[in-house]
Amino acid sequence: MEHNLLTARLVKSVLLSEKTKHLEFEVEEVSSFDFLAGQFISVREPRGDKFVTRAYSIASPPRANNTFDLCLNRVDEGFMSNFLCDRELGDTARFHGPHGLFVLKPEVEDVIFVATGTGIAPFRSMVQHLFGMDGSGQQRHGGRQVWLVYGTRYCEDVYYKEEFESLTAEHPNFHYVATLSRAPADWTGNRGYVQEHVYKIVGSRKDVHVYICGLNEMVSSVRRLLIEECGWEKKRVIYERYD
Ligand SMILES: Cc1cc2nc3c(=O)[nH]c(=O)nc-3n(C[C@H](O)[C@H](O)[C@H](O)COP(=O)(O)OP(=O)(O)OC[C@H]3O[C@@H](n4cnc5c(N)ncnc54)[C@H](O)[C@@H]3O)c2cc1C
C-alpha cells in the first residue's frame, strides 16, 4: 500500500540518558498534524538501495499545530534508532502516519498505564491529553483515577520524572509509580518489577482498563497476570509491543 510521506524536521533534541533521546519535530507539509493520543508514526528512510520502515510512538499529546515528540532508544547495531538519534537540529526524516489502535477507550473508567523503557512514550501522550483541557475548558480525565506504573532498572532511566511528579502534585487522581528493578541502596522510591505494583493496585478489582507498552517479555507477563491469574476479561487489557 502506498502511503503519503511527510517530512519531519528536528527542532529540539534532549538527551534523557546515555542511550535515550527526547526529540521534537515539526511536520513541514501541514499546519496541523492530527493524531490520537497513543498512536505511532512509521519512519521510512533509505538504507543502501532499499528502504527501512520502523514504528515510533508519539510521545506528545495532540496539539493544535504541526509538532510531535518522540522518545527514542538507541538499539545496538540498529539502523533506524541510530539514524534518528544522530539527527542534528534542522535535519529531516520522512514518515507516514499516524497509525495504530493503541488509543484511549471512550468509557470514563479508571485506568492503569504500565510501561518499561521507551514504552513510556504513548503514555506521556495519553497522560498529558487526559490532564489537559478540552474545548469547553474541562479536563478530559472526567474524574477517573489514573495510575502510571513505570519500570526500569536504574534511576538514570526514569524518563520525564519531573513532569510526572509535578502532575502528581497538581492532580489527586493522578498516581505515578516509578519502580526500579536494580535500585541503589539509597533509593527511597519503589522497588521491584511493574507486575508487583500492578497487582497491588488492582487488588480484587476488575473494572479498570489496563494499557501496557514496551518489550514483549514485560507485556506478556502483565497480560498473563491479569488474564490468567486474576481472571480479567481480555478486552480490558490493551497493549502495544515494541518487538
Ligand atoms: C508500534 C511500535 C511503536 C514503537 N515505538 C517506539 C518508541 O517510541 N521508541 C523506541 O525507541 N522504539 C519504538 N519501537 C521500536 C522501533 O520500531 C524499532 O524496532 C527500534 O528502534 C529498533 O529499530 P532499528 O532499526 O534501530 O534496529 P534493527 O536494525 O531493526 O534491529 C537491530 C537489532 O536489535 C534488535 N531489536 C529490534 N528492536 C528492538 C528493540 N525495540 N529493543 C531492543 N532490541 C531490538 C533486533 O532483533 C536486531 O537484532 C516501536 C515499535 C513498535 C512496533
**What is the tens place of the pLDDT at every residue in 202-237?**
998 999 999 999 999 999 999 999 999 999 999 999
Closest residue (by CA) to atom 4 of ligand 1? Answer: 56
Asked, as a colleague might, if the bond just before 98 is cis with ω within 30 of 0, I would say: yes
Q: Which of 18, 56, 118 to mutate to test the pocket of ligand 1 (most atoms within 8 A of CB)?
A: 56
Would you state the cell numbers that stand for residue 151, as one nine-digit string? 519500570
Three cell numbers at 121?
512514550
Q: How far is the CA of 225 from the centre of ligand 1 (A)?
A: 25
In contact, 37 and 89? CB cutoff 8 Å = no
Could you identify the atom of ligand 1 that is nearest to the CA of residue 240? 1
- Predicted confidence at residue 121, as pLDDT, reads 98
DSSP string, 39-83: -EEEEEEEETTEEEEEEEEB-S---SSSEEEEEEEPPTT-SHHHH
Residues in contact with 183: Cβ distance below 8 Å, sequence separation at least 6, in sequence order: 155, 189, 191
Q: What is the pLDDT of residue 237?
A: 97
Q: Which of 85, 153, 243 to mutate to test the pocket of ligand 1 (most atoms within 8 A of CB)?
A: 243
What architecture (CATH level 2) is domain 6-99? Beta Barrel (2.40)
Per-residue CA distances from 121 to 156, 189, 213, 214, 224 (Å): 17, 22, 9, 9, 23
The pick from 20, 43, 54, 240 for probing ligand 1's pocket by mutation, whose C-beta has the most ligand atoms within 8 angstroms, reads 54
pLDDT of residue 3: 87
| 57 within ligand 1 shell (Cβ under 6 A) | yes
| Domains 6-99 and 111-241 equal at CATH topology level | no
The span from the CA of 123 to the CA of 143, in Å, is 18
Regions in the chain scoring below 50 on pLDDT:
none
> Residue 235: what pLDDT?
95
As a whole number of Å, the CA-based R_g of the chain is 18
For atom 21 of ligand 1, the residue with the nearest CA is 81
pLDDT of residue 172: 97
Q: Where are the chain's structural domains?
A: 6-99, 111-241
Q: Tell the CATH topology of 111-241.
A: Rossmann fold (3.40.50)
**What single DSSP character describes residue 18?**
T
The verdict on the CB of residue 22 being under 6 Å from ligand 1 is no
